[in-house]
Amino acid sequence: MRQAYPVRLGPAEQTLIDQLKAAGADQAAERLSVAGLPTRRFESYHYTDLKTLLRSVPPLGAPANQVDVPALSLPGAFNLTLVNGVASQQGEAPEGVIVGTAHGGVLTTRDDAIVHINSGLVRESLSLSLDSTLDQIVQIAHRIEGEAAHVADAIKVFVADGATATIVETFSGSDAAHVGNHAMYMALGKGAVVTHVTIDLSARATSHFATNEYHLADGARLRTLVIHLGAGLARTHLFPHMGGADAHADVTGLNLVSDGQHADITMETHHAVPHTSSQPLFKSIARGRSKAIVQGKLVVARDAQKTDAKFMHQGLMLSDEAEILSKPELEIYADDVVCGHGSTCGQLDDDSLFYLLSRGIPKAEAETMLVRGFIAELLDPVDDEGLNSALQGIIDGWLLGGK
């Protein structure tokens, strides 16, 4: 009989266990003490070994002063803030929007350490109900302020049948070695149409973790855009669940990483019923000694006939030291489906660059033009002009050498 040996716990794991016990989350603490943080042996963390990458965890964050200026300027938006996990709103909520709070975490229980930690630490979550079509953008600004802190927060969103909404989440804070663990649960009613954009604008010293779970009813339409460019260590885990006939999801994301950064977007889309579709598209751009990861898994249940799902990841390396890692997967139990996956990775096209140089365009500007063209496929579907312009400004800032 094989003997079971206890996991050797590091400083980060021991701190997390102590924090969970102090919060009364004994079950989550026990689970972490037995299994530890995920290593590359965990399939969904194969390229993001948290036991190695997360060496320390700061104390739990204390309440901080609310910040009135959002990290992203979106004129006319309805602004909500979560500062060190405490929610507040700026101005009166638009008609059809109900803002409240709920007890505890929001995510479905699953075998994931980040999920267990979030659910164990969140005592009160922000709830948002959208009962009708909303012309205003809802902007939710997550901020971690003060000295280095560990903050867990959660949001639960319900979008009514036939409603249309755009929700933007930003993550930022002071320039300290924070650890943020953020959760979003979103339920889309029949025929609902939602655009959900999340942007990591955290300081380089921050470790940023986000888990987004979506449940789509009949005829619902979802477009997501995840942008990583701030934190030194970033990981967003996406769980779209296609639970209604004719539901469709365009799940998209962008890793922008520079020297020393590690960014991971991992997706697991479940097609649970017949006649659903999804088209995940992710892009990664890496420069310096950096690492960008995209893992995408499409799961088609036995009864989910007529599923149409195609996954694609495209990588662009701007330096010889950069790493872009991709792992597409299909897990199909139905027999009448159209599913596929693909992944490409390379450098800027020499012929295209030569053409621009021959027209008198400086090399740096020519390279920037080609990178913008590479990204355009992700931004073009964002219909709101103000939001599109703001996203383009963020990307231009990164291209010019900033965040």
For residue 350, the number of C-alpha atoms closer than 13 Å in the C-beta half-sphere is: 0
Distance from C-alpha of 222 to C-alpha of 164, rounded to nearest angstrom: 10
Section 362-366 average pLDDT: 83
Query: Is a pLDDT exceeding 60 seen at residue 5?
Result: no
∠50-55-57 over CA atoms, to 5°?
100
pTM, two decimals, is 0.94
Percentage above 90 pLDDT, the chain? 85
pLDDT at position 222: 98
Q: 192-231: per-residue pLDDT in tens?
A: 999 999 999 999 999 999 999 999 999 999 999 999 999 9
Structural domain includes residue 402 = no
Section 228-239 average pLDDT: 97
Decide which of 71 and 238 is more confident: 238
Distance from C-alpha of 316 to C-alpha of 365, rounded to nearest angstrom: 17
Query: Is a pLDDT exceeding 70 seen at residue 113?
Result: yes
Give the position of tokens 């998209």.
Answer: 252
Query: Is a pLDDT exceeding 60 seen at residue 1?
Result: no
Q: 241-250: per-residue pLDDT in tens?
A: 999 999 999 9
Where is average pLDDT lowest: 2-11, 41-50, 100-109, 371-380? 2-11
pLDDT at position 79: 94
Contacts of 385 (CB under 8 A, 6+ apart): none
Instruction: Identify the band that residue 351 occupies on the pLDDT scale cut at 50, 70 and 90.
Output: confident
∠276-281-287 over CA atoms, to 5°?
165
Structural domain includes residue 403 = no
Structural domain includes residue 258 = yes
Structural domain includes residue 396 = no
Instruction: Identify the band that residue 362 occupies on the pLDDT scale cut at 50, 70 and 90.
Output: confident
φ, ψ at 101 (rounded to 5°): -130, 160
Q: Count of H helices and E strands in the chain?
A: 7, 20
pLDDT at position 4: 47
Cross-strand partners of 124: 103
Burial 228-262 (b: 16+ CB within 10 A, else e): bbbbbbbbbbbbbbbbbebbbbbbbbbbbbbeebb
Decide which of 400 and 96 is more confident: 96
Structural domain includes residue 365 = no
Query: Is a pLDDT exceeding 70 seen at residue 54?
Result: yes
Query: Is a pLDDT exceeding 50 seen at residue 3?
Result: no
What's the number of domains the chain is made of?
1
Look up the domain containing 123 and give its range.
Answer: 11-347
Tell how strand 150-159 and strand 233-242 pair up. unpaired
